[in-house]
Structure 1
Amino acid sequence: MALLHPFISLLLLAAPLCGAANQSPLPPGSLPVSPPLPLLQALQVRAPGSRGWRAGPVGGQPLRYMLNLYRRAADREGRPRRGRSLATNTVRLVRASSHGGQPWAGRWYLQPLTYHLEGQPEAEHLLRATVVYLPSLPLAHGRLLCALELAASSEAPRVLLSPATRPSRGWTEADVTPYLVPGNGSVRSLALRHICVRAGRAGDSDATLAPSHPFLLLYLNDTQAGLAPPAAEPFRHRRDTGTLAHDLPGYLRDQGGEKSDCSLRPFPVSFAQLGWDHWIIAPHRYNPRYCKGACPHLLRYDYHAPNHAVVQSFVHQLVDANVPRPSCVPYRYSPISVLMIERNGGILYKEYENMIAESCTCR
């Protein structure tokens, strides 16, 4: 026999055994309607535009680097892994814009780079910034050795950036945090010079080889991760999302017969089904899950129902049927990690809190 909630025993002793009132419960129309799925609301404001939009040059090594970062931080379903080392909920990859003429001069390669930082959301607070680059690149007849230099003003001495980490899969990171938060001012851009030299005998195929541009990683703490979209940019109903994200009650009605007990049910949503697979890189699907079913008349202890729900269930059963029974709702949630391409062509890793239901309760 299942254990009853411990508060029920006290109620049964103290309350009179009245018959249920001869009144019908509240009509279904008076109950609140389920809102659109919160993750889809949060992602909608980041959608880069029409379905035909493509990331273009955002692929290649920057995309592979962020995919490796994502796989270390989250599993196939997007759940953040335990013991992950990111220590933040947001990582933004900013690509460089190059300027200047011919970068090659004999054995030397010199390319000025600028990273534009305008338009960063106020809710995202910078924790750390690094520039990721390849310090060594194999050539057909030697190697290409590279370094980064801070492009300071003509009066200030030039600063050669030191690697902050040991090379991993050939990549290394240089810490540039001090140059992005000088005092209380706001930095709009970061200017660097990418310097390389050919070591060894140069072959014909090496003469035109250009190293990949280093990219900037911003490690940020987003204080609004998981919240509803800002009021300034409301949720837009786009045709390519269909009605799946906005009609959860209708979806549930179409699933057939209802099980009796309050329990966790699957609700898989494919980003390809929503037309978002061209800019959401990982995960490929989202299963927020939901709680459905009738709450028992006598709530068991394993439902973790609050005392108020126990009283409400008792009053509905024995005193006044106008008082609704407790509702089956999620009890615990877990976050989800999403890797996506932004409107400006950058790549964003973001963790959204409380997006996957893990258990149910009655309240």
Structure 2
Amino acid sequence: VRASSHGGQPWAGRWYLQPLTYHLEGQPEAEHLLRAAVVYPPPLPLAHGRLLCALELAASSEAPGVLLSPATRPSHGWTEADVTPYLVPGNGSVRSLALRHICVRAGRAGDSDATLAPSQPFLLLYLNDTQAGLAPPAAEPFRHRRDTGTLAHDLPGYLREQGGEKSDCSLRPFPVSFAQLGWDHWIIAPHRYNPRYCKGACPHLLRYDYHAPNHAVVQSFVHQLVDANVPRPSCVPYRYSPISVLMIERDGGILYKEYENMIAESCTCR
């Protein structure tokens, strides 16, 4: 989906500011949106520097001026930022997406750079056609993510796996008390916490939301197609969050401390 730009002169000194709106009214009702990403080029080389760009979600009551973080940071090639949460809030859907394309000239600009316009980002939609009888051709059982240099697969089977079957790699709860761990003699509070853990089989087609490295994708193919003795990737935590505790020091003092990487927040396959 290409953006419709509006506003006056985007350049103001070293800064470039261009409001962009992506309209989704033309999306057929039979096609369900699985994922959406804004794709944009890397920093442009200038005669005496670079043109650095970023994307900002237009301010709203739900998301006041969110700066979109790229899913990858390649040294060359195109970059993409996931905007699925802003297009599919809850069970509904949004009919347009408003962004601001912000760029700045880093370094001294030459005469040829003064009016250089960056390439306009576009919106990439991953859709599932729910019309009966429209099965994907046998010759093309899945699509590859070729734009950002990752081998993870988004389609098909995304919806089927997205529900999080009990056997699939997923985050599981495990509340535990510090008394059970034998730490209650020095941790005052909290008494319990839920570290959570990852368990389950890694899918044959690793979905994008697993954040699996390319090595895991290749290992999965090797297991399926070359040698079953090579194990499938393992289900392990991907991201963690800290917890804060009140603890008793050896001298009897009370200390507030934050321990990093104590709660598993998501899982991956490696």
TM-score category (smaller protein): 0.3 to 0.5
Higher mean alpha-carbon deviation, 269-278 vs 161-170, is at 269-278
Assess if the C-alpha contact under 8 Å between 2:23 and 2:97 holds in 1: yes
1:96-155 deviations in Å (ceiling 9; x for gaps): 000000000000000000000002112211111100012411112210000000002379
Alpha-carbon distance change, 278 to 331 in structure 1, aligned in 2, over 3 angstroms: same
What SS class does the counterpart of residue 75 from structure 2 fall into? coil
Match of 1:198 in 2: 105
Greater CA drift, 113-122 or 350-359: 350-359
Q: Distance in 2 between matches of 1:128 and 1:226?
A: 23
Tell me: CA distance 1:304–1:190, structure 2 relative to 1, closer, same or farther (3 Å).
closer
In structure 1, C-alpha distance between the alignment counterparts of 2:108 and 2:219, rounded to whole Å = 83
From the superposition, tell whether residues 205 and 335 of structure 1 become closer, same or farther in structure 2 (CA, over 3 Å). Answer: same
Higher relative contact order (CA 8 A, sep 6+): 1
Structure 1: 4+ residue segments shifted above 6 A:
228-363
Report the aligned-residue RMSD.
22.6
Q: Distance in 2 between matches of 1:230 and 1:171?
A: 29
- Greater alpha carbon shift after TM alignment, 168-177 vs 296-305: 296-305
Identify if the C-alpha distance between structure 1 residues 141 and 342 changes in structure 2 by more than 3 Å, giving closer, same or farther.
farther
Aligned partner of 2:193 in structure 1 is 286
- Give 1:161 shift: 0.4
C-alpha distance 208-341 of structure 1, shift in aligned 2 (>3 A): farther
Residue among 69, 75, 83 paired with 1:176: 83
Deviations 1:313-347 (A, max 9, x none): 99999999999999999999999999999999999
State the 1:220 CA deviation: 1.1
| Contact 2:176/2:194, CA 8 A, preserved across alignment | yes
Change over 3 Å in CA distance of 1:302–1:171 after alignment to 2:
closer
C-alpha contact (below 8 Å) 1:226/1:352 kept by paired residues: no
SS of the aligned residue for 1:239 comes to coil
Q: Distance in 1 between matches of 2:131 and 2:250?
A: 19
Whether the 8 Å contact between 2:158 and 2:207 is mirrored in structure 1 is no
Q: Any idea what the Cα deviations from partners look like across 1:150-175, whole Å, max 9, x if unmatched?
A: 00237953100000123274211000
The answer on whether the counterparts of 1:333 and 1:355 sit within 8 Å (CA) in structure 2 is yes
Conserved 8 A contact 1:316-1:322: yes
Report the Cα distance in structure 2 between the residues aligned to 1:346 and 1:98, rounded to whole angstroms.
Answer: 61
- Cα 1:257–1:342 shift into 2, 3 Å: same
Match of 1:237 among 119, 144, 147: 144
Contact preservation (8 Å) 1:136, 1:170: no
Aligned: 1:218 with 2:125: yes
CA offset digits 1:164-205 (Å, max 9, x no partner): 123274211000000001122231100000000001111000
Distance 1:314 1:279, change over 3 A: same
* Paired residues of 2:143 and 2:155 also in contact (CA < 8 A): no
Q: Is the CA contact (8 Å cut-off) linking 2:71 and 2:81 kept in structure 1?
A: yes
- How many Å separate the matches in 2 of 1:298 and 1:179? 26
| Cα distance change, pair 305–215 in 1 and its aligned pair in 2 (3 A) | closer
Q: Partners in 2 of 1:295 and 1:123 — Cα distance?
A: 30
* Matches of 1:348 and 1:119, distance apart in 2: 58
Q: What is the distance in 2 between the residues matched to 1:318 and 1:160?
A: 42
TM-score, normalised by the number of residues in structure 1: 0.36
Counterparts of 1:217 and 1:259 in 2: how far apart (Å)? 31
- Who is 2:247 aligned against? 340
Task: Choose between structure 1 and 2: higher helix proportion.
Answer: 1
Q: Which moved more, 1:101-110 or 1:219-228?
A: 219-228
Question: C-alpha distance in 1, partners of 2:108/2:68?
Answer: 27
Structure 2: 5+ residue stretches without partners: none
Compared with structure 1, are the counterparts of its residues 167 and 96 closer, same or farther at alpha carbon in structure 2 (3 Å cutoff)? same
The number of residue pairs the alignment matches comes to: 270
Deviation of 1:290 (Å): 52
Q: Per the alignment, do residues 283 and 174 of structure 1 end up closer, same or farther by CA in structure 2, a change over 3 Å counting?
A: farther
Q: 1:308 to 1:214 in 2, by over 3 A?
A: closer
* Closer/same/farther in 2, CA of residues 244 and 151 from structure 1, 3 Å limit: closer
Structure 1 residue 227: Cα displacement = 3.7
Work out whether residues 333 and 354 of structure 1, in 8 Å CA contact, stay in contact via their aligned partners in 2.
yes
Q: 2:58–2:100: 8 Å Cα contact kept in structure 1?
A: yes
Asked if the contact 1:141–1:201 (Cα under 8 Å) also holds between the matched residues in 2, the reply is yes
Q: C-alpha offsets along residues 46-75 of structure 1, whole Å, 9 cap, x if unaligned?
A: xxxxxxxxxxxxxxxxxxxxxxxxxxxxxx
Sequence identity, in percent? 97
1:266 equivalent in structure 2: 173
* 3-state secondary structure, aligned to 1:241: coil
Match of 2:30 in 1: 123
